[in-house]
Structure 1
Amino acid sequence: MTLYTRFAAHIDAALDALTANGDLPSGLARAAVTIEPPRDASHGDLATNAAMVLAKPANTNPRALADKIAAELGKLDEVASVSVAGPGFINMSLTDDTWRNELAAINDGGADYGHSATGKGRTVNVEYVSANPTGPMHMGHCRGAVVGDALASLLEWGGYKVIREYYVNDAGGQVDTLARSAHLRYRAALGEDIGEIPEGLYPGDYLVPVGQALAKEFGDKYVSAPESEWLVLFRKAAVAAMMALIKADLALLGIHHDLFSSEAELQAAKKPEAAEKELRARGLVYDGMLEAPKGETPEDWEPVELPLFRSSQFGDDQDRPIKKSDGSWTYFGADLAYHWQKAQTADALIDIWGADHAGTVKRIVAAVQALTGGKTRFDVKLVQMVRLLRAGEPVKMSKRSGNFVTLADVVREVGKDVVRFTMLTRKADAQMDFDFAKVVEASKDNPVFYVQYAHARVASLKRRAAEAGIACKSVDLSRLDTEDLTLVKLAAQFPRVVETAAAAREPHRIAFYLYDLAAAFHASWNVGNDRPERRFLLTDNHELTCARLFLGDAIGQIVRNGLAIMGVEAVEEMN
């Protein structure tokens, strides 16, 4: 039990006591009662809104209720003082021994400190990346890949069972184009001069090995054959090759999915038909006419009767077709069936999408709500594109692809950890610049460096202590004073940050927290430059040095745990 969960229990006990003596009516809902650090540290260590939340349903004055709750909390041995502020906020200052005990708990918890059981083992399906299998990963995919992977890890820390899924869009026109592009490279591998790549086909050199493999396997069998004989065969081979390329690119970032679902297999299994049947039975799909396009109506537009999903009943601005006029499934129709399939095996669904898909969020959220009867929580996280810069100037073409910057090129240049951490330094739906010079800059303005440097400093502290012959067989934490314990107060927030970030589905909060923790640690370290008695390593004071080494270990452990959530390694030395 962490400090925050323990004090949540203390507040519950205080409310139980007031209920028992008649100061509060029984049965009050307490879900909105919180325990958190005050916004202003001068107000204390912990604050609760219990009186503000419960006063109205209890038909009492919040300030008067706060005084009664404060009186109960003041009886706790861990509490040094309690005060009531404003209309009824309750602030608590804890004893130094309480913080020393929490410091010991951090070190005892080790790599498990910060894990939570709030998810109660519920299953969450996180679908991310899902790039079309038509080429290697580019930096347009990178941010969503990192956000999705870090979110999956964060949810696991929050006590959820997570399914990491990749949806392979291997049905439709784009993979037919891929097959035709591969056929062109196949002919080139057999010696044909194919000239310039025709407009509409994929021009990337990454298809050259695909063509060569097809030539080796089939010889010239399909050079002059009609498309109907080779399209499906080449499509399957090309998609398989692209997925192998994509998986290799993702592995460079340390990303591995549990499940790869195929759109083609979904349609072959008649899942869209099953979804349509289910929705028709519920009266949520009907045959109707689409509204004419807004603005000037195209000359070739004709009203066509199509099966429409009643998405307007769920907040969308109009009902949406699930089939095209030729009887094939719309992207929405296939996507609807895919999400219904996912909902069969998960309690909650999360999709990580590019911001260019914002217009389709309402309809798919509506569909999932309809298909699951509102029982399955479904979140769509939109991720903004990343602008690549060199010394402030936009990056041009990639030498490998000819028309985009590959993820592999970037990871090989600056490293996996730099890429992953940087992608989490902004909220996912905020614009981001990735400057190749700044992300490797050794300064506090570079969060990647600043957090890694904090961990490296802890490691160097341990090495220097060993070189000085300092061995700590036992540690007396009472040697740590209030100034030392300021770091513990921030470190102890880590479990709460994990829980709130998991609940909000926002992994960037971990990066923000680690930066604040690193800044506090560096500040404490730097105090020793002007005040030698505040240094972590004091060769003439063995007991205090051991206590501060113990404190440094705890900070290093929190940094490691936070970086583990982000998929970033904690370094021992900075080059």
Structure 2
Amino acid sequence: MSDIAATPAVPVFSAFAAHVDAALDALVAAGTLPAGLKRAAVTVEPPRDPSHGDLATNAAMVLAKPAGTNPRALATALVAELEKLDAVTSAEIAGPGFINLRLAPAVWLEELRTIAAAGGAYGRSNVGGGTTVNVEYVSANPTGPMHMGHCRGAVVGDALASLLEAAGHKVVREYYVNDAGAQVQVLARSAHVRYREALGEAVGEIPEGLYPGDYLVPVGQALAAEFGDRYATAPESEWLALFRTRAVAAMMVMIKADLALLGIHHDVFSSEAELQASGKVDEAEAWLRAQDLVYDGELEAPKGKTPEDWEPVALPLFRSTKFGDDQDRPIKKSDGTWTYFGADLAYHYQKAQGADALVDIWGADHAGTVKRIKAAVAAMTGNDGREVPFEVKLVQMVKLLRDGEEVKMSKRSGNFVTLADTVREVGKDVVRFTMLTRKPDAMMDFDFAEVIAAKKENPVFYVQYAHARICRNMKKGADEGFAPSAANLDLLGAEELDLVRLLAQFPRQVEAAAAAREPHRIAFYLHDVASAFHSYYNLGNDRPDKRFIVSENETITAARLFLAAQIGQIVRNGLALLGVAAVEEM
């Protein structure tokens, strides 16, 4: 059987990775290569310059040194093996030893059939091997509704979770509820003001330092209905903990509802307060002391001008300098309460017990804590005999614009743009896709007018319009009696095959984006697909013979409609990973 169609269900890049592997096996059997060489760094990917061929492999470059030979000599032997494949029309050595392959058109036509056969599953793989990845994202303080400052991290985290699942990982979506810090004490006091207000007291302007937002009015009313005036004049010590618990619970109901508007649902909600109450943080400290990773010592004086009232204080310090941090870090404050770092240390240790890898999505304002928490996780999991890879992805803030003017956000002042209002104004799909149109660590403008503008410069519109155009053509073809068919795909020419080559990259894009923890790559790729489709579509304006529907030629129309259907499938599959629906009409 020809190798061109021997494994039609395997995407072309995976199929040729297997062909390269088999060719290397043949060289080992012939004695050209030594056995046992590690091949993890061998890649098969599109060449940077499409004019160089269809596929490129670095096999000779990465294996020559450990094999004790030079890259070009190894490339020559590998080319001889690869040229035996029916699918390869030419194999050329470039530069110091890269190999460029040109493939027979039948390979790309078979890939179209593979896309059609796989449908919504095309692009999914088992490269993750079922390993469990815990992705923690959003984790906004439970002190009010979600605002647009939380949105980008929420979308990045959720899209990454879907991407990892598509690459064959089991994923735990986690939200860490920061309900043990000073901010929830402020929330409780703010709720108490609204509680007294609900009882009929004229509270006037909300005191400075408390949360003034009207979102706490229903919380106060619920507290009044439950407790009457029992705590209206009671000392804070009698109601603070109770009101904190009730207010946090109400905020989490609100937050979950806001996230649901974006199509986001977490598997696990972990409470910082419950973690501390369970003694897990104390256990982590004891374990770290036993490993000589925590000791009692004095903090260094602040850099620069030392405050007049600064005094050295003995605190339990984690040896984070041992793992690349610039100084050891306290896990407790001078009053004995846990630092954020101390609580986070125990939290991540707990997470690591049930996962093979951890990924946190944090705001860029937390960049200063990345080194120390990564050091802590490396210490605890490495010394425990089971190192768990841990990555932190930083997400920059989003600048909101309306009519060209920046919209300021401040939860404490009660003046902020809620996520819910934004989703209702522009739509879930627009919000989600827009948040992935830039790398997460790059600043982003979100202009309420621009994100819904029907123009090429708007990537959301551009990709959605490509899918809508395809649907319109498929409907027009059906109305005229044409049906997509793979029977005559060999009628497709060079321009059409270029489209197929781009579609065939989707599975490797998914795997690469999952491995790099970068879901924005899928948005970028979809934009490339949309651009290629629109360019081809526009050929028909000047060349009627290049239209998808050529009324006088049923066979070419059937083949092009089949191609269009697979372009649409790729767009749908990619958008689904991003949590975005593919529209059929615009």
The answer, yes or no, to whether TM exceeds 0.5 is: yes
RMSD: 1.4
Whether the 8 Å contact between 2:503 and 2:529 is mirrored in structure 1 is yes
Whether the 8 Å contact between 1:44 and 1:93 is mirrored in structure 2 is yes
Which residue in the other structure is 2:6 paired with? Answer: none
Which residue in the other structure is 2:562 paired with? Answer: 550
1:69 aligns with 2:78: yes
Trace 1:108-507 onto structure 2 (pairs within 5 A).
Answer: 108-373=117-382, 375-396=387-408, 402-472=414-484, 475-507=487-519
SS of the counterpart of 1:228? helix
SS of the counterpart of 2:36? coil
The amino acid of 2:501's aligned partner reads K
Whether the 8 Å contact between 1:343 and 1:376 is mirrored in structure 2 is yes
Which residue in the other structure is 2:27 paired with? Answer: 18
SS of the counterpart of 2:368? helix
SS of the counterpart of 1:80? strand
Trace 1:28-43 onto structure 2 (pairs within 5 A).
Answer: 28-43=37-52
For 1:526 and 1:391, the matched residues in 2 are separated by 33
Relative distance call for 1:216 and 1:353 in structure 2 (3 A) is same
1:512 aligns with 2:524: yes
Which residue in the other structure is 2:4 paired with? Answer: none
SS of the counterpart of 1:215? helix
Question: How far is the alpha carbon of 1:123 from its aligned partner?
Answer: 0.3
For 1:283 and 1:391, the matched residues in 2 are separated by 58
Relative distance call for 1:295 and 1:454 in structure 2 (3 A) is same
The amino acid of 1:442's aligned partner reads A
For 1:472 and 1:60, the matched residues in 2 are separated by 51
For 2:411 and 2:319, the matched residues in 1 are separated by 48
Question: How far is the alpha carbon of 1:59 from its aligned partner?
Answer: 2.1
Whether the 8 Å contact between 1:107 and 1:554 is mirrored in structure 2 is yes
Whether the 8 Å contact between 1:353 and 1:383 is mirrored in structure 2 is yes
For 1:268 and 1:89, the matched residues in 2 are separated by 59
The amino acid of 1:521's aligned partner reads F
Whether the 8 Å contact between 1:347 and 1:377 is mirrored in structure 2 is yes
TM-score (norm 2): 0.96
Question: How far is the alpha carbon of 1:402 from its aligned partner?
Answer: 3.9
1:562 aligns with 2:574: yes
Aligned residues: 574
For 2:579 and 2:389, the matched residues in 1 are separated by 26
Q: Could you list the per-position Cα deviations for residues 99-158 of structure 1 after superposition, in whole angstroms to 9, with x for gaps in the alignment?
A: 000000001000000001110000000000000000011111000000000000000001
Relative distance call for 1:474 and 1:24 in structure 2 (3 A) is closer
For 2:485 and 2:291, the matched residues in 1 are separated by 70
Q: Could you list the per-position Cα deviations for residues 81-104 of structure 1 after superposition, in whole angstroms to 9, with x for gaps in the alignment?
A: 111111111101111101000000
SS of the counterpart of 2:362? strand
Question: How far is the alpha carbon of 1:391 from its aligned partner?
Answer: 3.7
Question: How far is the alpha carbon of 1:390 from its aligned partner?
Answer: 2.2
Q: Could you list the per-position Cα deviations for residues 172-197 of structure 1 after superposition, in whole angstroms to 9, with x for gaps in the alignment?
A: 21111101100000111111111111
For 1:130 and 1:98, the matched residues in 2 are separated by 47
Question: How far is the alpha carbon of 1:521 from its aligned partner?
Answer: 0.6
Q: Could you list the per-position Cα deviations for residues 352-377 of structure 1 after superposition, in whole angstroms to 9, with x for gaps in the alignment?
A: 00000000000000000011016100
For 2:406 and 2:197, the matched residues in 1 are separated by 34
Relative distance call for 1:510 and 1:54 in structure 2 (3 A) is same
Which residue in the other structure is 2:3 paired with? Answer: none
The amino acid of 2:220's aligned partner reads G
For 1:402 and 1:125, the matched residues in 2 are separated by 33
The amino acid of 1:318's aligned partner reads Q
Relative distance call for 1:398 and 1:105 in structure 2 (3 A) is same
Whether the 8 Å contact between 1:480 and 1:547 is mirrored in structure 2 is yes
SS of the counterpart of 1:430? coil
Structure 1 range deviating more: 66-75 or 112-121: 66-75
Relative distance call for 1:154 and 1:286 in structure 2 (3 A) is same
Which residue in the other structure is 1:93 paired with? Answer: 102
For 1:151 and 1:492, the matched residues in 2 are separated by 21
Which residue in the other structure is 1:541 paired with? Answer: 553
Question: How far is the alpha carbon of 1:473 from its aligned partner?
Answer: 6.8
Structure 1 range deviating more: 101-110 or 214-223: 214-223
The amino acid of 1:457's aligned partner reads R
Question: How far is the alpha carbon of 1:482 from its aligned partner?
Answer: 2.6
Whether the 8 Å contact between 1:353 and 1:380 is mirrored in structure 2 is yes
For 1:497 and 1:100, the matched residues in 2 are separated by 20
Question: How far is the alpha carbon of 1:397 from its aligned partner?
Answer: 6.1
TM-score (norm 1): 0.98
SS of the counterpart of 1:56? helix
Q: Could you list the per-position Cα deviations for residues 198-224 of structure 1 after superposition, in whole angstroms to 9, with x for gaps in the alignment?
A: 111111110011111111111111111
The amino acid of 2:507's aligned partner reads P
Structure 1 range deviating more: 270-279 or 78-87: 78-87
Identity of aligned residues (%): 74
For 1:312 and 1:472, the matched residues in 2 are separated by 63
For 1:157 and 1:401, the matched residues in 2 are separated by 41
For 1:225 and 1:257, the matched residues in 2 are separated by 38
For 2:414 and 2:155, the matched residues in 1 are separated by 24
The amino acid of 1:514's aligned partner reads L
Long gaps (5+) in structure 2: 1-9
Relative distance call for 1:343 and 1:104 in structure 2 (3 A) is same
For 1:187 and 1:313, the matched residues in 2 are separated by 52
Which residue in the other structure is 2:16 paired with? Answer: 7
SS of the counterpart of 1:57? helix
For 1:430 and 1:185, the matched residues in 2 are separated by 39
SS of the counterpart of 1:339? helix
Long gaps (5+) in structure 1: none
For 1:390 and 1:96, the matched residues in 2 are separated by 50
Which residue in the other structure is 1:572 paired with? Answer: 584
For 1:358 and 1:307, the matched residues in 2 are separated by 23
For 1:108 and 1:389, the matched residues in 2 are separated by 44
Question: How far is the alpha carbon of 1:246 from its aligned partner?
Answer: 0.6
Relative distance call for 1:193 and 1:505 in structure 2 (3 A) is same
Question: How far is the alpha carbon of 1:481 from its aligned partner?
Answer: 2.2
